[in-house]
Amino acid sequence: MEPAITDFINDNKIATVCFITKEGKPYCINCFYLLDEENHVLMFKSSSGASHDEMVLPNANIAGTILPDSIDILKIKGIQFSGKILSKEDVDKFKLSSQYTKKYPFSLAMPGYIWGVLLERIKYTNNTLGFGNKTIWNLSDEKK
C-alpha cells in the first residue's frame, strides 16, 4: 500500500462504514478505526447489542470513507474504500482486538467486539497535489 495512503489513514480516526443488511437495505455506521498495514485490515469496535450486530454477515461486501476532521474545499483529501468483513476467526488470527485496545484503551470500558475489514480497494483523493489527484490501490495488485 502506498505510504501516502497509509499516512492519511493513520493520521485520521473516524471512518464511515457502509454495508447491505440481510434484508438488502443499506446501512452506515461511524466508528473509530485502526489500520493493520501488514494484513491490509481496517478494524473497528462495535458495542454489544448494536443494531448492526445482527445485520452483517462474515464475507459481506462493505464500502466506506475516511475524511479529515476539518475540510478545506480547495484542499480536499479523503479515502474511499471497499472490502469484505472478516470472520471472528480471522479477527482472532490477526490479533486485531489487542491492536485496537492498545490504540484506543477507552474501548476496554465498552462491551463489544472488534470487526475487521479486509481492504480490497482504496481510492485516495489529495487535491493539495492538484485538483482531482487520485491514487488507487488494489489488494489484487499487492498479491502479484
Find all residues with CB under 8 Å of 72, minimum gap 6, and list them.
Answer: none
Say which residue the cell 462474515 belongs to: 58
Greater pLDDT, 132 or 140: 140
pTM of the entire structure?
Answer: 0.88
C-alpha cell of 100? 485496537
Residue 117's nearest CA partner among 49, 80, 63, 69 is 63
Q: What whole-number distance in Å separates Cα of residue 63 and Cα of residue 102?
A: 25
Domains and CATH numbers, the chain: 3-142 (2.30.110.10)
pLDDT in tens, 33-53: 999 999 999 999 887 667 666
pLDDT at residue number 74: 81
